Structure 1
């Protein structure tokens, strides 16, 4: 797998080799920059921008040069001499992405079956089979809204970078000045075993943490926890990308820290590049969504006591993993916690105590009377 990934991404998942490889494959490795600023290719140093009042002088700018931008392959083109290579690269890319997604689905399904065998009772499963359609009808409206938000995010993400550079603020240098060497200090404790654990937690544990409570709350007779969770997901996925438009920041791995996840497991970059951009770090949606799951697990601890402890442990590990792997600053983690609090507060007030089916039945009864 690693050699196949290196065919597309280069020998390393970050650095000048990938940048040159991306350019040769006619990709768009970095976001557009403003005309008044120029890149300083030395990694880890802020750029210089020419003063308009005094063209001969330079002042320190707050734009930072990333080590590598997002790698995207738009399929083979008709460029003379490169069409065969691009076609092979595109086929390799799709095969690797399919392999990563298959592994992700298999691991998440296996974890759900394992944890569910401990938490779910046979009587609970039997009752769910009888009431499944009614419960799905209760959760269908907000599930539909969540699906539309996710689709809209995927469409807007393709055009959001250009808008961000027009209306947004680049705060990478500000984040670094506030934190200093916190993330590199956390990475100073790295070991191969710890890197493997946090990498799997970041990819597989995070996906499991989001999907499992949806299944668990669908098995409850009261659908309110499920509707609150889906509503909180929707608010997270709405407010988070909105903040990304106005806050431009590269993660520590692009500036002051090692990219432990992509250096050791470069195939995961194929997955994350499909759902995110390397400037979308504040706030951390990994943290906000995992904290959302942990809080709802605390609210439903009487139904699933063990799930509350597992959710809290998973949420904490994901928060640490984002910094250990060099993906997020500690400020991003704090922003994710704030976003989760806002989303939960709004969801708890937006979701009625009664289900939608109950309200529809009451309206039908009133109309018949």
Structure 2
């Protein structure tokens, strides 16, 4: 593929927003594509490939290029991808022949460089995970396939496979996750099909969380940190569209998106509530089940969000852990006697997972751990998730 100047400059512009201004890669990429509707599928694919891989391999590419400038990082990535770097693309650092040679030296560099992760984060994860960190990090640097969750309120997984195939999309069942389908590598779900409400894009690891809540039709359920509602919708399907789900979040915009998705999915049992100071008091003792899908570092999702590792800091991680403790101290109060709650994160760090549950039980010994589930990126090929179900006497 010939690299056009407009596309090359577009890549550098997106990366500048991500690295210098801390913008979320997915969001800025979507905005740029909307602002340039004349770019074709191939153009968009080139830009997405470049910015995601440069973001994923930032430190490794800087070593290869001998420079941390965006122009040098892009040149190193294009050379790595087998593309001819245009003569008009100017950068500091090594020329193409030197870059090619330095690729061979990359494996002898420290792990934080050849696996491209901040030093502090590599050290922290290594301290917490020990030898397990190496295979997890390698897995988290692989590209993620697209997983779908079949909306059981509308059709079965087998019917979904047929429907997708009729629309030119191949898919396959995922062992161990009853409602999940996976698309072939490099394939995505066309927007038109996503809007039908028959399937939702949701990682297979994420799909293991809602079933752990052990819901039944007719129950009262609180999704305390619902966001845009991927797990909320899954709960509604597991409840067969009967009962009540209150989806809470501090973001009104995310809850608005949840309402749109719920209408599309054909469920009417979800009610949204923007978090207020009196929320805990109003819903105290109301729920049969509570899902605490807690804010976390997000390290389990680096395959899809490689920019996370550059936005995260030690201070932000500690602040997140304090928030997790507060949620665990207060949100179980929404349960009626005999109810159950699930604490979940998309992190692979034990300090955000098992460590938080242990601290909770030290503070309040009433809670009994019934089951813990973890998905390992290295072991499953899915995103990394942790979930624990606890019972209230």
What TM-score do you get using the length of structure 2 for normalisation?
0.23
Q: Normalized per residue, which structure has more helix?
A: 1
The higher-RCO structure (CA 8 Å, 6+ apart) is: 1
Q: Which structure has more strand as a fraction of its residues?
A: 2
